[in-house]
Amino acid sequence: MARTFGLELLPAGGPKRFTYAELKAATKDFSDFIGRGGFGDVYKGELPDHRVVAVKCLKHVTGGDAEFWAEVTIIARMHHLNLVRLWGFCAEKGQRILVYEHVPNGSLDKYLFQVGRIGSSRRGMELDPDTENPENPVLDWSIRYRIALGVARAIAYLHEECLEWVLHCDIKPENILLGDDFCPKISDFGLAKLKKKEDFVSMSRIRGTRGYMAPEWIKSDQITSKADVYSFGMVLLEIVIGVRSFEIQGSQMNSEDWYFPNWAFDKVFKEMKVEDILDRHIKNSYDRRLHFDMVDRMVKTAMWCLQDRPDMRPSMGKVAKMLEGTVEITEPKKPTIFFLGDE
């Protein structure tokens, strides 16, 4: 089977096939739980060579060993600075387990949203008792920009540079891990094909996460790479604002017609007050001379990503260029929640 799918041709240091017993020992019987995602639970472990790993036990995956091996082969051949590296896998006794590098600084959400939930305004926020580590540093503007650009380049790689086109389907801060120097690394890429088909198309179990899903998921339209572009746009706004989009929508603004991207659009393009939407925890460090171009590009790029029609959104390759400042960013159409009243 390994020869059939070319695993024997992978270079030294490529993905290793682990036994279930080896991973059980590495994780101390799966005792160090570090996260839960749409594809399964993740445990911290240590291999005999002292490498620290993240062990993801997949749930509700479809197909037999052959299909799983084929998908693992594809994932293992995706190499990019801003993608989490797959080191190995286990396909034994019905188990489907992936072994990744462990990314030390955790996920982006722990840094952006650590100050708690929103009340009727953005003032007087209290510490969220569910926050794992309230001591996480507040990310400065240059780090936030580097995170945004790194994530954009990684998604562009998945969409445009891989031999097989890859749709992520669940771009969100929890799936953006931060390594040394806060270098961003996307996790859970390449796994969409392993999910059962009903998970992928059923209206009762739409793929993705509330607040980040593109309108076409709700409308049951054809899903393309532009769905990832929309999700990235929402993450990009959150990187600038430091608050979850749906938390603002649910509690800060009382109007049912209020829409997070719509509000940001007015601030940037109508009122010309990008400073009004900045994360208040680093607003004091905002220097218009140093940071305006960077932040302005991030918000305006997000507006293009959040267009309600997929064909109006740029490709991720162009999104990366917009963030880099190598292409001009024209004024987009104002984003709307068109699907709420559209049958």
Name the residues annotated as catalytic. Answer: 170
156 half-sphere exposure, CB direction, 13 A CA radius: 17
Q: What three-state secondary structure class fits 313?
A: coil
Q: How far apart are CA 189 and CA 168, in angstroms?
A: 5
Residue 250: alpha-carbon gap to chain centroid: 22
56 assigned to a ligand binding site: yes
Token duo for residue 307: 């267009």
Contacts of 126 (CB under 8 A, 6+ apart): 116, 117
Which amino acid makes up residue 165?
W
Q: How is 94-129 classified by DSSP, letter by letter?
A: TEEEEEEEPPTT-BTHHHHSTT----SSSSS----T
Q: How far apart are CA 89 and CA 65, in angstroms?
A: 12
Q: What three-state secondary structure class fits 28?
A: coil
For the stretch 318-326, contacts whose Cβ atoms lie closer than 8 Å and that sit 24 or more positions apart, written own/partner, are 319/152, 319/155, 319/156, 319/229, 319/232, 320/149, 320/152, 320/153, 320/156, 322/297, 323/145, 323/148, 323/149, 323/152, 323/297, 323/298, 324/149, 325/293, 325/297
Q: How many residues does the chain have?
A: 343
Residue among 146, 91, 177, 99 at smallest CA distance from 324: 146
Q: Binding site residues, as ranges? A: 56
Q: Binding site residues for ATP, as ranges? A: 56
